[in-house]
Amino acid sequence: MREVTPISSLRKSQLRVASFTLIELLVVIAIIAILAALLLPALGRTKEQTRVSQCLSNLRQIGLAIRLYVDDNGGTFPLWANKPWTNQIDPDWIAYDIAMGGYDAKPGHAPVAKAINRPLYPYLKPSAVFRCAADKGQDEPELVDLGLGDGLWKPSNFDALGCSYRFNAILWGGNYRQEPESDEGLSAKRDSWVTSPARMILMHEPPAFCYDNYYHWHYARGPTTVTPNQLAADSQKFFSPIVFVDGHARSYDFTHALKDDPNFPLEPTTDWYWYEPKK
């Protein structure tokens, strides 16, 4: 006669199997959580590195467009503005340095040219090439006092101005250990004026430079706008992709240049320089 297993025994056996499966599931979840905790920072770094690589590609294309402009204009770099700077702002005055190309600016922001009137428009039409994916914008309240829009370029420079990258013209802030030959940088300079094309910065992102405030875009893990009073205590790095006059592009950490001696943030290094000293 076939032996019949009591129902109560079957239920106990099923419960034991179910309990064991639940423990296994919890172990698997715990392992996945540990692996995720280990992998997420690496994935975040990979994402940031991808953004930096994209910006380097963008800047190479912009650098090529500037080279075409120079070749078509007697070996001369673009102007930084349509008219000379004066303390009394001319209502027709417009800047190019913060938007050499790209899309139209939104109303109420700095007076920059319409996209079609920007120096690079004939060579590089408005596109995502002018956008940094890590662009966090800028906050420059002193521009309001100068009559240059609201000074708040948010949520990004690209959204506000139509361009994330800036031409190396107008040495905004700080003193210089050597007197610059020009405080307008590359604006309207002959190609031959540059003594070291492989080291002189052509285009950059705001984190590389000293404005009224300082900025973190790539690898930002905290406040993205840093005031001069907050600079010393700020623990983040100031990273910026750069394209040089000779056309090559690289990313650099500008932290030491900006923080070691804030009164002289634009002094030359072995890798880059911002201005030509007066001869």
Q: What is the pLDDT of residues 11-28, one digit of tens each?
A: 555 545 445 577 777 777
Q: CB–CB of 188/79 below 8 Å? A: yes
Q: Could you tell me the pLDDT band of residue 142, with boundaries at 50, 70 and 90?
A: confident
For the segment 188-198, the average pLDDT, to the nearest whole number, is 97
DSSP one-letter code for 86: -
Q: Which residue has the higher pLDDT, 3 or 121?
A: 121
Q: Given this model, what pLDDT does residue 40 score?
A: 62
What H or E segment, with its residue span, contains residue 202? strand 201-204
Domain ranges for the chain: 36-259
In whole angstroms, what is the distance from residue 143 CA to residue 277 CA? 27
Q: Could you tell me the pLDDT band of residue 151, with boundaries at 50, 70 and 90?
A: confident
Q: Decide: residue 233, CB within 10 A, 0-12 exposed, 13-18 middle, 19+ buried.
A: exposed
Q: Could you tell me the pLDDT band of residue 172, with boundaries at 50, 70 and 90?
A: confident
248 pLDDT more than 70: yes
For the segment 115-139, the average pLDDT, to the nearest whole number, is 97
For the segment 98-109, the average pLDDT, to the nearest whole number, is 93
CA dihedral 121, 216, 181, 248 (to 10 degrees): -60
Q: Could you tell me the pLDDT band of residue 146, with boundaries at 50, 70 and 90?
A: confident
Q: Could you tell me the pLDDT band of residue 90, with boundaries at 50, 70 and 90?
A: confident
Q: How far is CA 103 from CA 117, 128, 137, in A?
A: 10, 9, 15
Upper half-sphere CA count for residue 175 (Cβ side, 13 Å):
4
188 pLDDT more than 80: yes
For the segment 218-222, the average pLDDT, to the nearest whole number, is 94
Q: Which residues contact 178 (CB under 8 A, 6 or more apart)?
A: 277, 278
Q: Given this model, what pLDDT does residue 37 score?
A: 67
The CA-CA-CA angle for residues 251, 236, 242, to 5°, reads: 15
H helix and E strand count, the chain: 4, 8
In whole angstroms, what is the distance from residue 279 CA to residue 269 CA? 19
- pLDDT tens digits for range 269-278: 999 999 999 9
The CA-CA-CA angle for residues 209, 214, 219, to 5°, reads: 90
89 pLDDT more than 90: no
Q: Given this model, what pLDDT does residue 250 score?
A: 97
The CA-CA-CA angle for residues 242, 246, 250, to 5°, reads: 25
Phi, psi of 199 (to 5 degrees): -120, -20
Q: Which residues contact 41 (CB under 8 A, 6 or more apart)?
A: none
Quickly tell me which residue has 């953004």 as its tokens.
51
Q: Could you tell me the pLDDT band of residue 38, with boundaries at 50, 70 and 90?
A: low
CB atoms closer than 10 angstroms to residue 272: 20
What H or E segment, with its residue span, contains residue 258? helix 255-259
pTM of the model: 0.84
Q: Could you tell me the pLDDT band of residue 133, with boundaries at 50, 70 and 90?
A: very high
